[in-house]
Amino acid sequence: MDTIIGIDLGTTNSGVCVIRDGKPVMLPDEDGQTILPSFVGFDNQGQLLVGQSARNQAILAPERTVRSIKRRMGEDTKVSMGDDTFTPQEISAMILRTLKDRATRVLGEEVGKAVITVPAFFNEMQREATRQAGELAGLEVVRIINEPTAAALVYQPDTDCGERLLVYDLGGGTFDVSIVQIEGGVVEVLSSHGDTRLGGDDFDELLLKHVCDQFQETHGLDLRQLPAARSRLLQAVEEAKKVLSFEPCASVNEEFIAEKDGGALHLTCEILRQDYETMIEPLLKKTIKCVDDALEDAKLHAKDIDKIVLVGGSSRTPLVHHLLEEQLRQTPHQEVDPDLCVAMGAAVQGGLIAGLDVGSVLVDITPHTLGIQCRSLLHGLPSVFCFAPIIGRNTPLPATRSEMFSTCVDGQKVAEINVFQGENDDVRRNQPVGDFLLEGLDESAEAGNEILVRFELNLDGILIVTAVERISGLERQLTIDNAISQFRQSGQEDAQAKLDGIFGPERQPSPARETDLDEVPAEVKQAVKEAIHLITKAHQVLPEADPEDVAELEALIEQMEDSITRRALEKIRETRAKLEDIVFYLQDA
């Protein structure tokens, strides 16, 4: 039987995949790289370059390099490359030929048939141009399929069971969102929206501006005007951007980036994820608007979507997950590498055409969110029971993620790291999996002393939690064996049942919400209102309190919240007396 390869011919990157033993397997180049940058060029000797080598010379030799040719597919035009001109089909054929040769080399057999993917919005001319490019590369294009269809096939190769998927594809230069219906062996794109000029490249440009503006302010030199420096920096900020998907901060360090008055200048810049997110949020909000439009066109609501599937390298950005979750009220799926998902789906389609039995692409993921307890706002009020997620559910394993936290009071000597697993904003509704103390913090530090907490979860379910005080480098670590199976055994249900016993059946706990008080006697209602007021005051005095008072205050706040939750009038009164004493004492101090 002839092998049918699947090819993702992307604007920024391309890839080739094949079904082996019922599973899609990406085919690597000689260096083990599965992704081929969609760049074509001639070097200064006139040798053809395709992929990373062409990409490397793109900024310094733009006249000899072609990028993003996919945008020109279907146009009756020619692009110049070196001393020659080429049609978009011819340039695309060079990328396809490289992937075909790769497949032939890896598989050890001549490969002649392919399924190639195109965006859902491609018209007939663009599809025909893609088919021609395949033929020029020596491939029989057995089918052209839509990229969101390919992504859906990876998550749902069994097309007989009905599902509706929302495929959110954010790449380097383009964004599109599609709603795909799978039913009775048919995969149909119900609606599609997007922006062909929005992607990770725009995020790089924003970061570049941020870094260059800072440098210009210090050194009076605009690095954007120096092509070599710009090219280096663009790569450096892209790397920093990728780091920010997993770490709360990243640094850009480029030595000898420029010269001034005969002396070398170095660039050092630290970027916080928070600042980066502020930069890109307006762009991401545009993508969410497209999601709304796609739903409206398909005449569907968020609740009608069974799965959100993430595609494209930029969909790894945590703010993307956050905004989608906020908008659609479900966790997006990212089990399959978003860079490879489309090529894998093309291979699944090729396998189905060839009559192969294609199973689902099972990968190990975290079944629940892992995070720590912290003080923040819970249901709108300050609380010490907030859950701060670090590794989100559905994250493929192994996974490493870090988040930054801050101490609450001046001179804080100890930070307690309590690790939980679950999906509730309130840690008391999640499952504790371990805890430890980071002792010996710098006593001269004010409140806001930064502590980096890193979670490393491996395929065996071993979780390594590391806490580091940033200014001193003080570090403590905890290893939790079988963090995942521990939880599976005891189960979310057990945790829920246990807590329902305390809180009452699932109704968000919100112990301190006055609106929940409609059905309780007036006396309790009044006591709860006063207690809430007192808790707010207690939080106000906390930052000024001595460490011993902090401990006592926190314990009393916890007791009070618990009593409020249980509407235990006597206990509320008892705790109130104690809490009032300490709050008034600290207010007067």
Q: Look up residue 398 and give its DSSP letter.
A: S
Query: Least distance in Å: CB of 317 to ligand AMP?
Result: 5
Q: Smallest distance from the beta carbon of 207 to ligand AMP, in angstroms?
A: 10
* Separation between Cα atoms, residue 38 and residue 55, nearest integer Å: 8
Would you say 339 or 403 has its CB closer to ligand AMP?
339
In this structure, the number of other CB atoms found within 10 A of the CB of residue 329 comes to 10
Report 475-494 residues binding ligand AMP (CB under 6 A): none
Tokens of 450: 């930064």
Min dist CB 11 to ligand AMP, Å, is 6
> Interface with ligand AMP includes 102 (CB under 6 A)?
no
For residue 453, the minimal CB distance to ligand AMP (Å) is: 20
160 catalytic, yes or no?
no
The only residue of 119, 134, 148, 200 in contact with ligand AMP, by rule CB under 6 A: 200
Residue 560, C-beta contacts closer than 8 angstroms, at least 6 positions apart: 531, 534, 535, 572, 575, 576, 579
Q: How far apart are CA 23 and CA 148, in angstroms?
A: 19
Q: Using the rule CB under 6 A, is 350 a contact of ligand AMP?
A: no
Cα separation, 16 vs 350, whole angstroms: 12
- Taking the least distance from each CB to ligand AMP, the nearer of 35 and 527 is 35
Return the range that interacts with ligand AMP (CB under 6 A); candidates 70-78, 157-165, 195-203, 454-462. Answer: 195-203
Q: Is 383 in the site for ligand AMP (CB under 6 A)?
A: no
From 128, 163, 205, 238, residue interacting with ligand AMP (rule: CB under 6 A): 238
Nearer to ligand AMP, 117 or 191 (CB): 117
CB of 1 to ligand AMP, least distance (A): 31
Told to check if 12 binds ligand AMP by CB under 6 A, we report yes
- The yes or no reply on residue 149 touching ligand AMP (CB under 6 A) is no
The whole-angstrom separation of Cα 356 and Cα 222 is 57
Find out whether 343 and 365 touch, Cβ atoms under 8 Å: no
With contacts defined by CB under 6 A, name the span among 9-17, 270-278, 395-403, 466-474 that binds ligand AMP: 9-17
373 binds ligand AMP (CB under 6 A): no
Q: Which residue stretch of 117-125, 237-245, 278-286, 505-513 sits at the interface with ligand AMP (rule: CB under 6 A)?
A: 237-245
Instruction: Report the C-alpha gap between 74 and 284 in whole angstroms.
Output: 29
The single residue listed with the structure tokens 């032939």 is: 104
Active-site annotation holder among 23, 29, 70, 201:
70
Identity at 1, one-letter amino acid code = M
User: Which of 242, 393, 566, 571 touches ligand AMP by CB under 6 A?
Assistant: 242
Strand runs labelled E in 225-293: 249-260, 263-272
The type of residue at 528 is V
Cβ of residue 118: shortest distance to ligand AMP, in angstroms? Answer: 14
8 is annotated as an active-site residue: yes
- By the rule CB under 6 A, 164 interacts with ligand AMP: no
DSSP state of 479: E
Q: How far is the CB of 283 from ligand AMP (least distance, A)?
A: 12
3-class DSSP state of 253: strand
Categorise residue 28: left if φ over 0, alpha if ψ from -120 to 50, beta otherwise: beta
d(CA 101, CA 310): 29
Residue 8 binds to ligand AMP (criterion: CB under 6 A): no
Q: Which helix (H) or strand (E) holds 404?
A: strand 399-406
To ligand AMP, the closest distance from the beta carbon of 244 in angstroms equals 7
Choice between 340 and 556, CB closer to ligand AMP: 340
Q: How many residues touch ligand AMP (CB under 6 A)?
A: 18
Q: Specify whether 270 is catalytic.
A: no
Between 342 and 495, CB nearer to ligand AMP: 342
- Binder among 195, 339, 554, 561 for ligand AMP (CB under 6 A): 339
Integer-rounded Cα Rg, in Å, for the chain is 28
**Active-site residue, 222 included:** no
Say if CB 91 and CB 66 are below 8 A apart. yes
**CA pair distance 27, 102, nearest whole angstrom:** 7
Give the C-alpha distances (Å, rounded to integers) separating 187 from 36, 292, 303, 351: 28, 21, 20, 15
Alpha carbons within 13 angstroms on the beta-carbon side of residue 574 total 8
Neighbouring CB atoms inside 10 A of 414's CB total 12
Question: What percent helix, strand, coil does the chain show, rounded to 5?
Answer: 40, 30, 30
When the beta carbons of 241 and 428 are compared against ligand AMP, the nearer one is 241
Cα(222)–Cα(204) distance, rounded to whole angstroms? 17
Supply the DSSP symbol for 334. -
Q: Exactly one of 29, 90, 169, 202 is catalytic; which is it? A: 169
- Token readout for 118 is 């195109």
**Residue 509 binds ligand AMP (CB under 6 A):** no
C-alpha 534/C-alpha 462 separation (Å) is 42
Among 13, 57, 130, 496, binds ligand AMP (CB under 6 A): 13
Tell me how far apart the alpha carbons of residues 556 and 562 are, in angstroms, rounded to a whole number.
10
Find how far residue 303's CA is from the centre of its chain: 22
Which one of 6, 10, 41, 51 is in contact with ligand AMP (CB under 6 A)? Answer: 10
250 close to 279: Cβ distance less than 8 angstroms: no
Of 224 and 316, CB closest to ligand AMP: 316
Catalytic site residue from 23, 90, 100, 147: 147
171 binds ligand AMP (CB under 6 A): yes
What does the H/E/C string look like for 511-564? CCCHHHHCCCCHHHHHHHHHHHHHHHHHHHHHHHCCHHHHHHHHHHHHHHHHHH
Draw the binding track, 304-333, toward ligand AMP (x: CB under 6 A; -: no contact).
--------xxx-xx----------------
Over the window 399 to 438, marking each residue x when it contacts ligand AMP by CB under 6 A and - when it does not, the resulting string is ----------------------------------------
Q: For tokens 């300050």, what's the residue?
A: 382
Toward ligand AMP, which CB reaches closer, 392 or 422? 392
Q: Could you tell me which stretch among 79-87, 240-248, 289-297, 459-467 binds ligand AMP (CB under 6 A)?
A: 240-248
Least separation, in Å, of the C-beta of 427 and ligand AMP? 28
Active-site residues, by number, are: 8, 70, 147, 169
Contacts to ligand AMP by CB under 6 A: 10, 12-13, 171-172, 199-201, 238, 241-242, 245, 312-314, 316-317, 339
